[in-house]
Chain A
Amino acid sequence: MHPVITDYLPVLIFGCIAVVIAGAMLGSSLLFGHQKPYAEKTSAYECGFEAFDDARHRFDVRFYLVAILFIIFDLEVAFLFPWAMSLSRIGWFGFLSMMGFLGVLVVGFIYEWSKGALDWD
């Protein structure tokens, strides 16, 4: 057995228990609950008044921009973890390699800051 699996066995057991409990809750409410759905009951609830419109509106593309910028810096941070783990072995070359990586991304960061991509009107 791989050592990683024994390390993660508690996580696996935890996940199995979570699935069982969630399944038991949903399943028992499905089995024992009274279910008499009708059109009024299953319609969208909007604080008492009729729903104006469908919920599927287009929304501003700036949400998407924020999400993309988040992913890029998320990946940047993901690269920092192995670097921090083995910095003592890879020496100055590894250090400068990461500094180059960060430098390129800082260029992008300055660009997006100066363009106002991080501002919200």
Chain B
Amino acid sequence: MMTQIVFYVFAAVLVLSATMVVCARNPVHSVLFLILAFFNAAGLFLIAGAEFLAMTLVIVYVGAVAVLFLFVVMMLDVRFAQMREGVQRYAPIGAAVGGVLLVELIMAFTHWRVAGNIGQITHLVPSSPTRTNTAALGDVLYTHYIFLFQTCALVLLVAMIGAIVLTLRDRPTGRRQNIDRQHDRIPQESLEMLQVPLGAGVAAQGGFLRPHDSYDVAAVPGTYGTEAWRAREAAEQTQTALVVITPAQGAKGQDDE
């Protein structure tokens, strides 16, 4: 009794949400109704005893395929007004395809015969108190149905290669990480060790310098360094009429030392 109630609730919500997938005005809402339909289908699988399929449906379809559908909906750049215009034009084609499908389904299910000895085929028992549904699947999937299983691997391989071939474009301008080059770097290429005289600080050597250009070059003149350092340097330049060391010369001087 309980099972029947649960079945009818799941089935009714499934049919209603599947109808809403087609009828919803907003494609994003359609995808959300599709997720609801997936959840209810998982409930129906559970009632049928197909525990593993129910969980796979939730993980794969809700977790991944629905996200993919959302991507597609976002990527299509749909204009709802334009989409409405197409409905009238494509309705006959859609109705024809749907009618053919319906006729085929009726033909398939009216000629469906269940084998009389289905109870005796032990490996078809979905689950029992001694063997869970997942174990029952595993017992036959990898040995009895090995051909279908390996075909499945090839289908996945084709999907992988197809997705890469269709969507991956080489971008020459892209700043892609070159991991080998990054690992080959050594500190000496980017760092320079300086002998700083005691008490003089690095200001005497022209401030902090990078190997090939100092921050002075990049920064707006007079803005680099602390306030005290700028004041002291300005005082030095006015008091001692030394040759003004440009930052480039300063950098060279560092290399010589």
15 contacts between A and B (CB under 8 A): A1-B3, A4-B127, A64-B75, A65-B168, A67-B71, A76-B156, A78-B56, A82-B138, A83-B138, A89-B139, A100-B150, A101-B149, A105-B160, A108-B160, A121-B176
Residue interface bits A87-114, CB-to-B below 8 A is 1, else 0 = 1011101100110110011011101100
Contact of B168 among A1, A79, A90, A117 (CB under 8 A): A117
- The complex places the Cα of A75 from the Cα of B171 at a distance, in Å, of 30
Q: A102's closest neighbor in chain B, by CB?
A: B153
Q: Please, which residues of chain A bring their CB within 8 A of the CB of B56?
A: 78
Q: Which residues of B contact A (CB under 8 A)?
A: 2-3, 6, 46-47, 49, 51-52, 56, 59-60, 63-65, 67-68, 71-72, 74-75, 77-78, 127, 129, 132-135, 137-139, 141-143, 146, 149-150, 152-154, 156-157, 159-161, 163-164, 167-168, 170-171, 174-177
CB distance from B81 to the nearest CB of A (A): 13
- The complex places the Cα of A89 from the Cα of B168 at a distance, in Å, of 42
Given that A97-B143, A121-B171 are contacting pairs, would A108 and B3 also be in contact in the complex, using a CB cutoff of 8 Å? Answer: no
Q: Please, which residues of chain B bring their CB within 8 A of the CB of A58?
A: 75, 77
Give chain B's interface secondary structure class: helix
Contact of B64 among A64, A70, A91 (CB under 8 A): A70
- The total of interchain contacts (Cβ-Cβ below 8 angstroms) comes to 155
Establish whether residues B168 and A115, one from each chain, have CB atoms under 8 Å apart when the complex forms.
Answer: yes
- The complex places the Cα of A107 from the Cα of B141 at a distance, in Å, of 22
Establish whether residues A108 and B59, one from each chain, have CB atoms under 8 Å apart when the complex forms.
Answer: no
Establish whether residues A97 and B64, one from each chain, have CB atoms under 8 Å apart when the complex forms.
Answer: no
- The complex places the Cα of A61 from the Cα of B127 at a distance, in Å, of 42
Establish whether residues A115 and B67, one from each chain, have CB atoms under 8 Å apart when the complex forms.
Answer: no
Establish whether residues A5 and B142, one from each chain, have CB atoms under 8 Å apart when the complex forms.
Answer: no
